[in-house]
Amino acid sequence: MIKFNRVFKVYEKNIKALDDINIEIAKGEFVFLAGPSGAGKSTILKLLYREEIPTMGTIFIDNKEITHLNEHKMALYRRSMGFVFQDFKLLFDRTVFENIALPLVITGISEAYTKRRVAEMIEKKGLKGKEKLNPWQLSCGEKQRVAIARAVITSPPVILADEPTGNLDEESAWELMKWFLELSGKGTTIIFATHNRNIMEKYGKRIIRLKEGKVVEV
């Protein structure tokens, strides 16, 4: 269970990104965060990932308050989440294989397991033959596949996706959605920020609509 309890986020110059957010997301639920640019979707994801902390209010995950985690606990907490970005956030000085392997390397997983697991992800995401390429040699769709493979390689219980279809053509976007739905079917909690109306309407998942930092409809 993810719970936001009266969460506010105010940046410099009194810019209010979130205004009294109260939402609950059940374990294993697939939820869309909807709204125009600047509505607060990315801020909610950043708070969940602990890239930002609330100005006021509390956030709970599985009844544990995450706002005041120390550095060690925050590192452990982040390992329970995968993050997929619109602009991919790949390391362009590393190969496809190295990008996907990164979460396993950081956690100290054995080299043998890492090689086997990365090979599985490369096969599953249709990246066979691309292992030694650098991200700049890939199409947008291929970059997003690498980003997703990296996000899910540790089988995190929660996936955060920030406009992941924004730079993709229609066919690649629908392919990406199939992967997210597959993860959801296995019990992964998915929080998917988007303004793509077609995607939201097609799948019948719960939609939390934001406008100017407020929840205006669930």
pLDDT in tens, 154-191: 999 999 999 888 878 888 888 888 889 999 999 999 99
What proportion of the chain, given as a percentage, has pLDDT over 70? 100
Query: What's the mean pLDDT in 9-17?
Result: 89
What proportion of the chain, given as a percentage, has pLDDT over 90? 63
Does the pLDDT at position 211 exceed 90?
yes
Please tell me the distance from the alpha carbon of residue 33 to that of residue 183, in angstroms, as a whole number: 18
Mean pLDDT (the chain) is: 91
User: What does the domain layout of the chain look like in residue ranges?
Assistant: 1-80+156-218, 91-155
**Number of residues assigned to the chain:** 218
Handedness of CA 70, 72, 74, 77 (dihedral sign): negative
- List pLDDT tens digits, range 93-143: 999 999 999 999 988 889 999 999 999 999 988 899 999 999 999 998 899
Does the pLDDT at position 68 exceed 90?
no
φ/ψ of residue 114, rounded to 5? -60, -45
Q: What integer pLDDT is reported at residue 120 of this predicted model?
A: 94
Distances, alpha carbon 200 to alpha carbons 22, 70, 84, 205, in Å: 21, 36, 18, 7
CB contact set of 116 (below 8 Å; sequence gap of 6+):
none
Helix spans in 10-95 (H): 41-49, 71-78
Q: What integer pLDDT is reported at residue 147 of this predicted model?
A: 92
CB contact set of 186 (below 8 Å; sequence gap of 6+):
none
**Amino acid occupying residue 17:** A
102: three-class secondary structure by DSSP: helix
- CATH number corresponding to 1-80+156-218: 3.40.50.300
